[in-house]
Chains A and B, each alone.
Chain A
């Protein structure tokens, strides 16, 4: 069973609806037992980095996820905040570190006189490394974030997007996949990406 982690922070139902629509069996869950037996894991998330980690800790899922991902090599997809949690740390959070499965961190878009800069809307996702053997090299996806992933090792960068500067919008290493935009909310290009992950 594909498990969508329910850490009470994010548009979890939207992710579920998209997987359902694509015809996959999946379940929203925070149960250790169910996650133990997950065939694939999706880690969604909209919110504060430290809140995300705290919620996972409260649910007693941090060690279990470490075991699933590092020992059992279960495939995991982090979306938006979920993708940033796969990295070492975030400038957004002083107290909580990330899982550190992929080397990198998340950085704030430069602030200005009035307010935070947010990257909100549809932008190009330029594929640099073809992990799913897709013909399309330029995807259009929906972004909504104020921090962006900085990936240490270039070989883990799958796609890049331009906003302020170029940043890694999709990254992966072995069984760990992260995507900064919302594939569940990016129409055909997003659904196609999600489908590729669920069938790989």
Chain B
């Protein structure tokens, strides 16, 4: 049976790892604590402000450093907008890519990528912020709101045929207060491709909650596993006891 995935999400700015809170930086961590043996996947995101060559090179070096000793899939993203960049990422050790703003900005490029590499190669991440009665969609690292409601945007994304969707709650980012269960349930109802949750993972129970209350396929954390190398192992043990199907 396909297991539920625990995914480590790492954000890099100019080659330096840092965590975020409501998408604002919080520099204090390095990637040396990450034990990737029990992670099911690692997502590496470039969130540098600059788009220059030097910053891009630092990011490529980072992917290579991680990938040399990492034998779980590495998904790479942040600012992807052309095919050459994808080739460079693959040459540094990327196994898959994740697209945030590109589906909105340039859907024909997304079509090109998917026809070349296949649907399974592409995850689309959707950044969502809760309003009073609905959700808004943001691009450009949470900076710009776009004129789509959540349902419209999910349909728009699904028309592009990606392999999976990562749904990221900006409100819960770095809050450690648990995933937005209603949001996840809502998105999963709209599609049958895998959906991953991000934003809010703060304790082991949050993982049990999301897998028991929703049909999501995986959840991401960018915070709690920075603290100790044994964290992921303990989490997996905990989830197995709770009868969640994990590796």
- Which residues of A are in contact with B by a Cβ distance under 8 Å? 8-14, 17-18, 20-21, 46-48, 51, 81, 112-124, 140, 142, 144-146, 162-163, 182, 184-187, 190-191
Known contacts A17-B93, A121-B5; A114/B191 CB under 8 A: yes
Q: B: which residues have CB within 8 A of A?
A: 1-3, 5, 37, 40, 64, 67-74, 87, 90-96, 115-121, 158, 161-164, 190-194, 217-218, 247
Q: List, in ascending order, chain A residues with CB within 8 A of B5's CB.
A: 121-122
The B interface is mostly helix, strand or loop, or mixed, namely loop
Complex alpha-carbon distance, A14 and B116, angstroms: 19
Evaluate contact between A120 and B164: CB separation under 8 angstroms: yes
Q: Are A117 and B193 in contact (CB under 8 A)?
A: yes
Q: Could you tell me if B194 and A46 are in contact, using CB atoms closer than 8 angstroms?
A: no
Q: Are B95 and A182 in contact (CB under 8 A)?
A: yes
> Closest approach, in angstroms, between the C-beta of A75 and any C-beta of chain B?
22
| Bound CA span A4–B162, Å | 28
Q: How far is the CA of A47 from the CA of B2 in the complex (A)?
A: 22
A17-B67, A47-B116, A115-B193 known; 6 other A-B pairs, CB under 8 Å?
A: A118-B164, A122-B2, A123-B3, A124-B1, A144-B121, A145-B120
Measured between alpha carbons, how far is A8 from B71 in the docked complex, in Å?
A: 21
Q: Are A123 and B1 in contact (CB under 8 A)?
A: yes
Question: Which residues of A lie under 8 Å from residue B193 when comparing CB positions?
Answer: 114-118
Partner of B191, one of A48, A115, A184, A190: A115
A182 touches B120 (CB 8 A): no
Alpha-carbon distance A12/B90, docked complex (angstroms): 7
Give Cα distance in the complex from A116 to B93, angstroms. Answer: 26
- B247 touching A122 by the CB < 8 A rule? yes
List of A residues within 8 angstroms of B120 by Cβ: 46, 118-120, 144-146
Closest to B115 in A: A48
Chain A nearest CB from B175 CB (Å) reads 26
Residue in A8, A47, A120 with the greatest tally of chain B CB atoms within 10 Å: A120
Q: Chain B residues with Cβ under 8 A from A112's Cβ?
A: 192
A120 in complex: contacting residue of B37, B70, B194, CB < 8 Å: B194
Would you call B73 and A115 a contact (CB within 8 A)?
A: no
Closest to A147 in B: B118
Contact indicator B74/A116 (Cβ below 8 Å):
no
Determine the distance from Cα of A168 to Cα of B60 in the docked complex, in whole angstroms: 36
Tell me which of B2, B90, B117, B217 contacts A13 (CB under 8 A). Answer: B90
Given contacts A163-B2, A182-B95, contact A14 B74 (CB under 8 A): yes
